[in-house]
Amino acid sequence: MKTIGLLGGMSWESSIEYERIINTEVRRRLGGVHSADLLVRSYDFAVIEELQEAGDWDVAAQLLADDAAWLEKAGADVIVLATNTMHKVARQIEDAVRIPLLHIADATAEAVQAEGIEAVALLGTRYTMEQDFYRGRLTANDLEVVVPGAADRTFVNDVIFNELVQGRIVEESKQRFLQIIERLHERGAEGVIAGCTEIELLVTPDDMEQPYFPTARIHAMAAVDFALAE
């Protein structure tokens, strides 16, 4: 079994889901009392969020890149960045290590394509929905990406930071999310990417009629595939 180096805590609400999914799936595949071989660097998310808000992406990139290198030195065979938004600095992390970084957008694009979908809605932080570092990775995989209008993007972003990363699950917010998803469906989206790992704490596949792509689960399962590959 290969060792997974997990950069988490952005936020821990979703990072613990990564660990749960990875360990549960390793046990399912190997049986007995098996669990994953994990090295974890978990952050005080307040520090990361302040860097995001201030636009200090170079500082954030250096922080994550240094810690990825530390995980590699400690024995990690692969880096898993347990967040969508911070993949904005994926290139800097890749440049800092010799081991692979499993990119969350690539794993997600593969899952979407496996369903035969060409146009997909993307929900996430405003950085993920509005900037090219994530959308561009999806379009490079021949997917059409549909994002909410400006007011809905603001709402989605606010719920992520003011509720979900703080562990608050609000039913009214869930209903508004489902309304936003329906509008995106009317605009041609055949499925929905939960492009922030906390969103799947609020909206689950059982809430959806359309195909739903929870990125934390997809990413975590890709990590297990890598760890257990021959």
83 as an active site residue: the answer is yes
Terminal-to-terminal C-alpha distance of the chain = 9
197 as an active site residue: the answer is no
Long-range contacts (CB closer than 8 Å, 24 or more residues apart) made by 192-195: 192/120, 192/121, 192/123, 193/108, 193/112, 193/120, 193/121, 193/122, 193/123, 193/124, 193/138, 194/123, 194/124, 195/84, 195/108, 195/122, 195/123, 195/124, 195/128, 195/129, 195/134
* CB-count burial class (<10 Å; 0-12, 13-18, 19+) for 223: buried
The one catalytic residue among 85, 125, 196, 215: 196
Annotated catalytic residues are 83, 196
